Structure 1
Amino acid sequence: MTNQEYGQFCGLARAAEIVGQRWTLLILRDLSVGPRRYSDLVGGLPGIPTNTLASRLKELEEAGLVMRAAPAGGDRSVVYGLTPRGEELGPALDALSRWGAGGMRTPREGEIVTTASIVSALKVAAGDGVVPKSWNTTYTVQVGEIVAHLVMRAGVITVGPGAAENPDLIIVAGPQIRDVLAGELDAQTAVSTGVVRLEGDPALFERFADTLRVPYSPHVPAGA
């Protein structure tokens, strides 16, 4: 038995052997947003040692969760992406993200947001992603310098990196938008107090705030 093995015939133990090391979950989170070059992963994971990133990618490849490919055309940079086995982790990553967000009210000193973290947060807030089929609304969401888009169309919600093309509403916000997603700050108050700034129909922000939800956990210890 190696140092990374728990010696138990248990699904949780086997999963922990593969994804339980430092940075691994965040690498998988970033790749769940879309394929990434090595340099993209370095840029999206501030603070990760490059030797650690290389090691984790190799381990995930060996475990069958990550694959690499060289794109066609002039850019011959290797691109990393999730395999079908890696994509199976999506619901587990979302569940862990939702659980972690339950204890997040304000950023700790030095904490930042990244494209993948915002996309992940919006995806988790969308829940099962089901909305009335009559809705056809496109949002651009900007938090600091990070931009993502969210689309409610054909009865489903989709989320991705980058601005939407011809968005119906642009939402510019700071970290306190977390209170909106938790349901502790209503849409009108968020706008009137400057927590968010809108470019477009304010009623569409009420739809956004009423639909996306990641509540705070009532069981988080004070100061956690």
Structure 2
Amino acid sequence: MRARHKPWADDYLKENVSIVELNPTENKGKWKQIFTNDNPIHLEIGSGKGQFVSGMAKQFPSINFIGMELVKSIIVSTIDKVKEVGCKNVRLVNENAEKVTEFFEEDEVDTIYLNFSDPWPKNRHEKRRLTYHTFLEQYQTILKKGGKLVLKTDNQQLFEYSLVSFSQFGCTLEEVSLDLHALNDPTNIKTEYEEKFAAKGQQIYRCVCRFD
């Protein structure tokens, strides 16, 4: 579903510079200075309305979280969610994942989350999938050695494609769950989409892979 245009979004981002990084390229290699601590940095690519990144920040206060969302009319909702939980260990970036290496230095990120990414089901759109090898190359650059990527999706085809992509790239699969909610994982923070799909009885898939 296309997000409704919000003409006031630009001004709202500028009004919330304590949460939104308006010039993230300037932060490359300096994110720990931005957070003023040496805590691990976790990045969610495609943070949507912010339920996951804000929930994780609340659950894990000793980790710094960065939510990257391309759609400006959606990231404004993320700002509100971060304000609601009142956590100081969250920053937001209104940018495209295709340029992720422009915002992070080598070995700067500890964990990357891909939650319910667009599956781009048509073969001609394969290069747009966030688990395509060109994206994995960028993730490998910014992740520390041994850094992890956590993928959650309701789309079986994307999940299977991603498992193959991770394996071919040389990643180590640490977890493969075909029914995440059956695990009753107390640390699992649900996204808005996850709640919606689970309520309809759809299976939620999760995998964790390590970049060595």
> TM-score category by the smaller chain?
under 0.3
| Larger RCO (CA within 8 A; separation ≥ 6) | 2
Computing the radius of gyration from Cα coordinates, the structure with the larger value is: 1
State the TM-score, normalized to the length of structure 2: 0.26
